[in-house]
Chains A and B, each alone.
Chain A
Amino acid sequence: MSLQRCQAEWEEIDQEYRQLQETHKVYRHKLDELTNLQTLCSNSVSKQRKSLRDLNYNLLRCLKTSDPKESEQIKAIQTQIKEKQHVFFDMEAYLPKKNGLYLNLVLGNVNVTLLSNQAKFAYKDEYEKFKLYMTIILLLGAISSRFILNYRVTDEIFNFLLVWYYCTLTIRESILINNGSRIKGWWVSHHYVSTFLSGVMLTWPDGVVYQMFRNQFLDFSIYQSFVQFLQYYYQSGCLYRLRALGERNQLDLTVEGFQSWMWRGLTFLLPFLFFGHFWQLYNAVSLFELASHKDCKEWQVLMLALTFLVLFLGNFLTTLKVVHQKFQKNKGKLGKKE
């Protein structure tokens, strides 16, 4: 009895299977067409780009020897060229492109370009969530290591987690950059520096000098995770609002620093950030002092001191620049009023 039933169900499925085979054949065929179009598009865009660049160069030279009317025309053309370059940048966000050096090393030649706006936005959203969850986990990890567990093993696990977290961030950010996100240089490099820092901490053997620095480092980690949590939470909300007003790009990310758009309501975060930066400076100074201690024979101390110094300088100067630009803008506005 059931055999007959099975056979009946089989017939039904067979029909669907034949349809699927047809659909799949059409799909493969269209996929090939798509791949050809992709190559065609990519080639024509890069060709146009190059020609426009050459034309721009020639126009600049013509500008020197032209009369005012021609100058005006040239300037108009140059503006149009610039606009076109923007259009090409946006077009290329939907075309597969070669991976940068870092992604190539890690992933190889698999294409990581997400080919629709929703997919890109969903990926960015996922990246933000990942940062948020990992920051909470790191905060809890740092608190447990500082107040509950006092073993080198758990410290190691915490450090490995940090290294893994920063490495994963660098990979995901490379993918976002590949998909058109414009993340500023230092905010990406500072993840590589942080990875290096955590890696060196990992190799620091237990000893008198390590115990002297350990609590300070864990306190700093707790504070930093807390501030990063505040940052992501408030920046996410702010970005959402600004995107709805059309004032920011879809793919703008939350970062560990202060960016120009944050003046609208997130200024209260600045003192927290500066305090964190100066804590990094304090860490560097403490480590330099420890390095000159009579018991200190570990190379990690000096290396960490230098790394913390680099982190402080990079963070502080980048944030200061944003503040400076704001003051310049305000001065400019005041000047115009007068």
Chain B
Amino acid sequence: MSSYSECLQEWKSLETEYQQVQETHRLYKEKLEEVSRLQEACSVSIARQRKKLKEISHLLTKGVNSDDAGDIDKIQALIKERSNVFFEMEAFLPKKNGLCLSLVLGNVNVTLLNKQAKFAYKDEYETFKLCFTILILLFAFTCCFIVSNRIVDAILNFLLVWYYCILTVRESVLISNGSKIKGWWVFHHYISAFLSGVILTWPDGNLYQVFRKQFLAYSLYQSFVQLLQYYYQNGCLYRLRSLGKRHTMDLTVEGFQSWMWRGLGFLLPFLFFGHFWQLYNGLSLFRMALLPECTDWQVVVCGSTFLVLFSGNFLTTIAVVHHKFQTKNQAKMKK
């Protein structure tokens, strides 16, 4: 129980603290201005230098004689190195958002301005993927074996659409922060969102019921493989990062990447099986589309989408395997 005089004393001490807070805040705003100006200066300088480097590179590739070939190569190498330095610098400067982020978020800056924040964000992204994959796994399991209801199916499909959309947003943020995610692995999230969206609109009927079990079993398998992927890739990336062989912002993906040869080769058959299941889904749907009673446009569209998914996934993964065999052959030939 505070008496009035105690309250007065408390009030007086809070007043002094308040003055301090105001002073700190004023300093803070000043520093904020300073930092903004430095940001502007850095961004402008980098843009200008980039332009100049492009011009120099262009000049070098035009008319120069072969005696200077060595010098030219040296300068080209320096130019490349400098581009990389700029890329690293820009990961700490605010930048305009790409089209996808601009449309969804607007003009808010999503660059995380220090290494720990970036890494924490990446970590959070991985946790998000893991949690959601488990959720989708459980849901698909429920739909496949426990409940057989179009509404529950619709909820699962909405969940899938929402999950893939959020992944694309978060990945755009990561790319803005310096993550180098390969084209197909981002694009394939857009395609998966589209696929789930189309299945969402597929009305209940004979054809839907015929395909439903196959689709749910496939979703179960895919979620399971993704779980394996994230779990083992995370461990592997952690090891490689501490050995300094991979970048902090490298992410787990749904495919096979070059660094995964070190111990994760066992995942390849699982992945290929998943890809061929996608092909099988595509073919089943095309066969269904040829039936006389098929009036749903969703069948052909889903069929084509599954084929696109299969081609993209399979070819990208084969490229990695092919590259590995080539490097092996080159190593052998050198011996």
Contacts and interface: CB of A to CB of B under 8 A. Distances in A.
Contacts of B3: 62
A3 B68 contact: yes
Interface string A79-122: 00000100000010011000000000111111110111001001
Interface residues of A, number: 79
A20 B106 contact: no
A19 B45 contact: yes
Contacts, number: 190
Interface residues of B, number: 79
A110 B49 contact: no
B208 to A, nearest CB: 10
B293 interface: no
A199 B35 contact: no
B261 interface: no
B175 to A, nearest CB: 13
Interface of B: 1-4, 6-7, 10-11, 14, 17-18, 20-21, 24-25, 27-29, 31-32, 34-36, 38-39, 41-42, 45-46, 48-49, 52-53, 55-56, 59-60, 62-64, 68, 71-72, 75, 78, 82, 89, 92, 103-110, 112-114, 117, 120-121, 124-125, 128, 151, 154, 158, 166, 169-170, 173, 197, 200-201, 203-205, 297
A31 B114 contact: yes
A299 B203 CA distance: 12
A26 B103 CA distance: 34
A57 to B, nearest CB: 9
Interface string A33-63: 1110110110011011001100100110110
A175 to B, nearest CB: 6
Contacts of A17: 49, 82
B86 to A, nearest CB: 9
B2 to A, nearest CB: 4
Contacts of B68: 3
Nearest to A120: B108
Interface string A1-19: 0110111011011001101
A323 interface: no
A71 B216 CA distance: 70
A160 B62 contact: no
Interface of A: 2-3, 5-7, 9-10, 12-13, 16-17, 19-20, 23-24, 26-28, 30-35, 37-38, 40-41, 44-45, 47-48, 51-52, 55, 58-59, 61-62, 66, 70, 74, 77, 84, 91, 94-95, 105-112, 114-116, 119, 122-123, 126-127, 130, 152-153, 156, 160, 168, 171-172, 175, 199, 202-203, 205-207, 299
A30 B36 contact: no
Nearest to B102: A126
Contacts of B46: 20
B24 A172 contact: no
Given A23-B42, A205-B203, A6 B59 contact: yes
B64 A2 contact: yes
A61 B6 CA distance: 13
